[in-house]
Amino acid sequence: MTPAIELENVSKVFGKFPAVDSLSFRVPKGVVFGLLGPNGAGKTTTIRMIMNITAADSGDIRVLSSPMTRETQNRIGYLPEERGLYRKMKVLDHLLFLAAIKEVSRENARRRIAEWADRLELKPWLKKKVDELSKGMQQKVQFIATVIHDPEILILDEPFSGLDPINTAIIKDYLTDFRKRGKTIVFSTHVLEQAEKLCDEICLLARSKKILEGNLRDLKRRFSKNLLHLSIEAGPTEIAALPGVASSQAVNGGYVVALAPGTDQREFLRRALERYPLHGFSAKEPELEEIYLDAVHAAGMEETRPIE
Amino acid sequence: MSWTKIFAVIRREYLERVRTKAFWIATILVPAFFLIYMAVQFIAIKKTSGERKIAVVDTTGQLAPALAAELAAREAALRQKNPGSRGIHWVVEPRPITGDLEQTKEALRKEVLSEKIYGYLILDPGLLKKDRAEYYSISVSEFVAIKQMDEAINLTVLRRKIEDRGLPPSVGRELEKRVDLETWKVTNKGVTQEKGAGILAALVFMVIMYSTFIMYGFQNLRGVIEEKTNRIVELVIASVRPIELMLGKIIGIGLVGLTQYLFWSLVAANLSMLGIAGIMAAGEAGAPLIPLSMIGYFILFFLLGYFLYASIYTALGAPFNTDQEAQQLSMIPTMLIVGGMAVYPAVMNNPNGPIAVGASLFPFTAPLIMYLRTAVAEPPGWQIGLSIVILILSTTAMAWFAGRIYRVGILMYGKKPTIPEIMRWVRYRPGKVLQPAAPPRS
């Protein structure tokens, strides 16, 4: 299947500072793709280059299998990191304008605005000026603007920054819904917990370079440290004495046990079960943050941390 | 270029501006102020009436009664011509010299101050020999009154001289007649009588151009900065190319200006139907008959000039984040426009002289000056053609230049850029231009 977005050796230098350094990745169609990394890693520059707002110095970018054209531009919904609206415009006029520059007919635009306004409870505000809206309301307007032309791909730069929990929930629902309809979502964030819950695929950036890319489930397996979560009737020393245990730690009445490399999980569990009453167990997957830190460590860029 | 998108931008720029209260206040207030001004002027002229008691110190002993008679005759003639009007009623009061002339004058000065008399006139042989007479009053800026007095004295003195030489009164009446100098404008097609109305109309059109370039040109600068400070520009640029956004804004703002003029000319047309414009244009000028070529040239030079200056203002707005930052550089186009206005008297005096030719070829003054020349004289065809060609080339170049600064500048936030930095944006080219569609990989 052709990817929705494809980057090949893309670089961008601002003055002497490399913002993006030979970056390549593919976004398959129909996935939620997370572009992750700390502030200043090059996420926004990458997104702007995909949108053809900033030109790449070198490399190829293909969106829906060709460089960004007028026609593909109309099939993308974009939410920039720097979010703004014309403050003196009425909400309805504003949305009609943003639809018009995506070449949506006025009639269609009106219908879709009405639908979205219903869904996001924005209807009483349509005739008000943007100025009179609360920040949360303005964010709803901006989200409607990104989908008003029913795009195939959504590109969202830090969509959750500055959102209150209610709006965050609304936007997450909306992203899930969007994906269910077979559309592609690319979003950037520096908050890894959000990405963990939403993404199918990720690309991790640090200091202008890609340090990791792939399917999140595969990555979790790859970065798994052979950890098990055990609920067992045994003391800490008894656990540590079990064959194959590299280290163990008591957690909430149970243990997180790290197995020595090469130890078979089933073999270990069988032995544990023979000796002590075992109430439950689960494989403990590494969290995205741990994967990130490992990847950063492997790349020798420790001081870069995914913290706000 | 997508005209659908450009049209959407034009529509937004236009409607959002025309819908503001500020626009309508300006649109209504300007003609309102103009009308009030005209009305005040008109009333002031009409109201120059009432009694004017003048003391005349006539040391010749011959002129005062004749002057009084002449003033009375003029008053009567005016009343006959225009029965409703209440003109000035002169009351001439001859005064003897008490003491010497200076003492008399001093006494009269006090009388004026205590409002016993309106003013005093000195008719002294010594002065008259030097063709002079002196008039003293609190108000010496009452043009209508002073003009009446001036004409009456001249005529009285003239008659006196004729009588002194012993010429027959018929010769005197002939000498009183004055020659009316008619002005005719020479053109290729012949000659046309020029009563000043055409020139007046040309100047009005020139002022319209001048104020549009400054006011609506500057609106472009503010519009660009506003989009940057609102942080809306990136969202728009994701759908519209920078050049399309720029063109849409320039055209939209220009249309706002045209709307204002359309409104004003409708007001003027309605007023002239009511006959008020007749009063406004009253006097020697007569009803202005504007030749079609004058309107044609106006539209041409107006559009070219507006695009030229709108491009400059856009280019100057794009790099900056606040009006204040842009203020310094925005003086440049303003000075150029004002400069064009400043040379206009020289052009009027010598419409085909070197200053006029130079200023009508220099692209930044060409819209105003070449337009003025086509209205007041008939400049050689090659000069008009060359001026238009230079202007079109400069406008195109400036729009290109502005476009290059614009596409980089609108996404630049933070520190105020230096001029060398801005010049780098113009030359800036990404390392690799976008390749044509590569074959999709399976």
Tally the residues of chain A. Answer: 308
In terms of domains, do B254 and B290 share one?
yes
In terms of domains, do B162 and B233 share one?
no
Q: Are the CB atoms for B411 and B237 separated by under 8 Å?
A: yes
User: Which ipTM value was assigned to this complex?
Assistant: 0.80
Domain-located, residue B252: yes
Smallest Cα distance from B321 to chain A, Å:
14
Determine the average pLDDT of the residues in A288-294.
81
- Establish how many alpha carbons lie within 13 A of residue B392's alpha carbon, considering only the half-sphere containing its beta carbon: 6
Determine the average pLDDT of the residues in B376-387.
90
Put simply, whether A135 touches B (Cβ < 8 Å) is no
B56 contact partners, CB below 8 Å, separation of at least 6: B64, B67, B68, B92, B93, B94, B95, B120, B121, B123
Residue-wise pLDDT for B321-335, tens only, equals 888 888 888 899 999
- Do A2 and B440 lie within an 8 Å CB cutoff? yes
* Partners of A62 in beta bridges: A6
pTM of the model: 0.76
Domain-located, residue B108: yes
Q: Is the pLDDT of residue A45 over 60?
A: yes
Tally the residues of chain B. Answer: 442
What is residue B438's predicted lDDT score, i.e. its pLDDT?
35
What is residue B249's predicted lDDT score, i.e. its pLDDT?
94
In terms of domains, do B161 and B219 share one?
no
Q: What's the rounded Cα separation, in Å, for the pair B133 and B124?
A: 7
Q: Are the CB atoms for B117 and B93 separated by under 8 Å?
A: yes
Which among A58, A62, A101 is the top mutation candidate for probing chain B, defined by the most B β-carbons within 10 Å of its own β-carbon?
Answer: A101
Q: In what order do the strands lie in the sheet with A227-232?
A: A245-251, A254-259, A227-232, A278-283
Name the 3-class secondary structure at A6.
Answer: strand
In terms of domains, do B167 and B228 share one?
no
Q: Are the CB atoms for A284 and A227 separated by under 8 Å?
A: yes
What is residue A177's predicted lDDT score, i.e. its pLDDT?
86
Range of the domain at B356: 194-427
What's the CATH code of the domain at B154? Answer: 3.40.190
Q: Are the CB atoms for B252 and B12 separated by under 8 Å?
A: yes
Domain-located, residue B434: no
Q: What's the rounded Cα separation, in Å, for the pair B377 and B399?
A: 31
Domain-located, residue B368: yes
- Do B235 and A98 lie within an 8 Å CB cutoff? yes
Residue-wise pLDDT for B137-173, tens only, equals 887 777 778 888 888 888 888 888 888 888 887 887 7
**Whose CA is closest to B106, among B146, B71, B57, B48?**
B57
Q: Is the pLDDT of residue B47 over 50?
A: yes
Which among B1, B11, B12, B20 is the top mutation candidate for probing chain A, defined by the most A β-carbons within 10 Å of its own β-carbon?
Answer: B12
- Structural domains in chain B (count): 2
Put simply, whether B338 touches A (Cβ < 8 Å) is no
- Amino acid found at B423: M
Segment of A203-207, B382-386, B407-411 carrying the highest mean pLDDT: B382-386
In terms of domains, do B220 and B369 share one?
yes
Q: What's the rounded Cα separation, in Å, for the pair B336 and A93?
A: 38
Put simply, whether B18 touches A (Cβ < 8 Å) is no
Chain A CB contacts of B437 under 8 Å are 65-67, 69
Q: Is the pLDDT of residue B437 over 60?
A: no
In terms of domains, do B292 and B164 share one?
no
In terms of domains, do B134 and B251 share one?
no
Segment of A294-303, B153-162, B199-208, B392-401 carrying the highest mean pLDDT: B392-401
What is residue B305's predicted lDDT score, i.e. its pLDDT?
94
Q: What's the rounded Cα separation, in Å, for the pair A271 and A268?
A: 5
DSSP A89: S
What is residue B285's predicted lDDT score, i.e. its pLDDT?
42
Chain B CB contacts of A83 under 8 Å are 231, 235
In terms of domains, do B148 and B202 share one?
no
Which stretch of A177-181, B157-161, B265-269 has the lowest confidence by average pLDDT? B265-269
Q: Is the pLDDT of residue B441 over 50?
A: no
Smallest Cα distance from A20 to chain B, Å:
14
What is residue B432's predicted lDDT score, i.e. its pLDDT?
36
pLDDT band at B428 (very low <50, low <70, confident <90, very high): low
Smallest Cα distance from B227 to chain A, Å:
7
In terms of domains, do B289 and B395 share one?
yes
Last residue of a domain, one of B115, B145, B174: B174
Angle between helices B292-317 and B366-376 in degrees, nearest 10: 170
